[in-house]
């Protein structure tokens, strides 16, 4: 408002529409306000105030401000998109890492297994005595283990099997009690294997058979 | 919100809407100032918009006390820089402009005048050149407008203006030197 007032004063001043007193007042004001003085000089050079072009200029400023708001919105949206993209990327990397972590140790495990398969102890059945029993195979534990290995069918869910038996005068095992449910096929099989097997020394046998994996 | 609050608010938020509200009232004056330097409509309008663009950044950095005087100085510097850039298109007599630019917009040291000061004014008026003294007298003491003074003295209207401007400045320097001397 004040601005329009000044503008119309400038207009009147330039076109000589002011009284002497008013002119003097404006001139005096302008002496203390170089801004006003320069503006008056400028309009004087332009030979008048062009209100139309000034209102166009106002509109230009308004457009400029509106445009900025739009640009800000655009920025905002693209930021949002970028954020979603980033989250997606992070999740993708996380999933990949998880998969890698899962698969990598697995690969190592199989490697280890392969190496251990070379180990005879794991491919073969091992038989050893348990503390209570005193019976020992005549040919030694190794030979007995090999014997079990060859004669054992491999159909078995047990990994370790404890077997109690007694040794007769003739060195043959009798009263063989595998420590497993009697309905398991391995129950009968072990009894047969032991009966067919080598002779024993001692009186009472308590052994553990460790089957390969 | 007054101007100062708007300035602070803009500095904090960068809200162009607020800057627009600050700037709009000065646009027509600024356009006049720019026209004085460029003497071309399109160039002056562009300058007004360019100054606004610069304010967008400057006002986020600088603390501005008096927006009006700051804006004036900024705009004038902008115009002078632009003219310097496109040398050869120079229309402005720098000498003439420098005398005005030295003036301060806010003069708060007015007010307390003693008897001595009145005597001093007359002394100082004597020390001015004849033209300046005559114009200053007619303008300040007889309260005449430039047009009347020009008619009365026969000087050109622009000459009258610059006599008064320079006379006023010299008078001020003279008065201040007196005060310091005391």
The CATH number of whichever domain residue B14 belongs to comes to 1.10.1740.10
pLDDT tens for each residue of A70-87: 776 666 667 788 889 999
Cβ atoms of A23 and B145 closer than 8 Å: yes
Q: How far apart are CA B82 and CA A163, in angstroms?
A: 106
Q: How far apart are CA B76 and CA B27, in angstroms?
A: 13
Regarding whether B21 and B76 lie in a shared domain, the answer is yes
Domain harbouring B140, CATH code: 1.10.10.10
Indicate whether B123 belongs to any domain.
yes
State the pLDDT at residue B182: 42
pLDDT, average across residues A149-176? 82
Which of A20, A23, A39 is nearest residue B33 as measured by Cβ atoms? A39
Cβ atoms of A102 and A171 closer than 8 Å: no
Q: How far apart are CA A152 and CA B28, in angstroms?
A: 108
Which of A7, A31, A36 is nearest residue B168 as measured by Cβ atoms? A31
State the pLDDT at residue A102: 84
A139 has a chain B CB within 8 A of its CB: no
pLDDT tens for each residue of A96-140: 999 998 887 655 555 555 555 555 555 677 787 788 778 888 888
Which of B16, B76, B147 is nearest residue A23 as measured by Cβ atoms? B147
A57 has a chain B CB within 8 A of its CB: yes
Binning chain B into helix, strand and coil, the percentages to the nearest 5 are: 75, 0, 25
> What is the distance in angstroms between the Cα of B143 and the nearest Cα belonging to chain A?
7
Pick left, alpha or beta for residue B126 (phi over 0 → left; psi -120 to 50 → alpha; otherwise beta): alpha
Residue A125, Cα to own-chain centre: how many angstroms?
43
ipTM: 0.73
The residue with greater pLDDT, A201 or A158, is A201
Full pLDDT tens readout for chain B, 182 residues: 788 888 888 888 888 888 888 898 899 899 999 999 888 888 899 999 999 999 888 888 888 888 888 999 999 999 998 888 877 655 555 545 554 444 444 444 555 667 777 777 888 888 888 888 888 888 888 888 888 888 888 888 888 888 888 888 888 888 887 655 44
A161 - beta bridge partners? A209
End-to-end CA distance of chain B: 45
Indicate whether B104 belongs to any domain.
no
pLDDT, average across residues A15-36? 87
Q: How many domains does chain B have?
A: 2
**Which of A118, A196, A203, A194 is CA-nearest to residue A162?**
A194
Regarding whether B83 and B47 lie in a shared domain, the answer is yes
CB contact under 8 A, B32 and A39: yes
Regarding whether B75 and B12 lie in a shared domain, the answer is yes
Chain A residue with the nearest C-alpha to that of B24:
A58
Mean pLDDT of chain A: 81
CB contact under 8 A, B27 and A58: yes
The residue with greater pLDDT, A193 or A109, is A193
State the pLDDT at residue B92: 54
The residue segments making up the domain with residue B12 are 3-88
CB contact under 8 A, B32 and A62: no
What are the residues whose beta carbons fall under 8 Å from the beta carbon of A43, sequence distance 6 or more? A10, A11, A14, A49, B32, B35
State the pLDDT at residue A86: 93
């Amino acid at each position: 408002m004040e601005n329009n007032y000044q503008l119309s004063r400038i207009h009147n001043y330039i076109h000589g529409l002011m009284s002497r007193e008013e002119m003097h007042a404006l001139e005096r004001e302008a002496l203390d306000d170089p801004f006003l003085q320069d503006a008056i000089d400028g309009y004087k050079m332009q030979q008048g105030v062009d209100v139309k072009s000034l209102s166009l200029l106002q509109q230009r400023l308004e457009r400029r401000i509106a445009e900025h708001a739009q640009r800000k919105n655009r920025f905002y949206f693209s930021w949002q998109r970028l954020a979603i993209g980033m989250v997606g990327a992070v999740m993708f990397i996380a999933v990949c890492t998880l998969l890698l972590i899962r698969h990598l140790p697995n690969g190592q495990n199989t490697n280890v297994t392969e190496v251990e398969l070379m180990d005879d102890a794991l491919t073969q059945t091992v038989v050893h005595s348990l503390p209570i029993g005193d019976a020992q195979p005549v040919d030694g534990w190794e030979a007995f283990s090999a014997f079990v290995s060859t004669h054992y069918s491999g159909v078995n869910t047990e990994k370790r099997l404890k077997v109690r038996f007694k040794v007769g005068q003739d060195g043959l095992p009798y009263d063989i009690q595998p420590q497993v449910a009697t309905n398991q096929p391995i129950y009968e099989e072990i009894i047969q294997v032991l009966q067919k097997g080598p002779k024993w020394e001692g009186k009472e046998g308590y052994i553990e058979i460790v089957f390969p994996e | 919100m007054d101007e100062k609050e708007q300035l602070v608010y803009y500095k904090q938020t960068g809200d162009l809407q607020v800057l627009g509200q600050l700037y709009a009232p000065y646009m027509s004056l600024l356009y006049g100032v720019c026209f004085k330097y460029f003497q071309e409509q399109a160039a002056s309008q562009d300058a007004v918009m360019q100054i606004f663009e610069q304010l967008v950044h400057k006002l986020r950095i600088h603390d501005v006390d008096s927006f009006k005087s700051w804006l004036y100085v900024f705009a004038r510097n902008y115009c002078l820089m632009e003219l310097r850039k496109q040398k050869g298109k120079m229309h402005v007599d720098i000498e003439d402009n420098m005398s005005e630019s030295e003036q301060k917009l806010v003069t708060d040291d007015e007010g307390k005048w003693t008897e001595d000061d009145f005597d001093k004014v007359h002394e100082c008026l004597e020390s001015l050149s004849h033209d300046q003294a005559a114009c200053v007298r007619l303008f300040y003491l007889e309260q005449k407008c430039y047009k009347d003074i020009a008619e009365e003295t026969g000087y050109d209207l622009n000459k009258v203006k610059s006599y008064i401007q320079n006379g006023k400045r010299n008078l001020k320097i003279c008065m201040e030197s007196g005060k310091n001397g005391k």
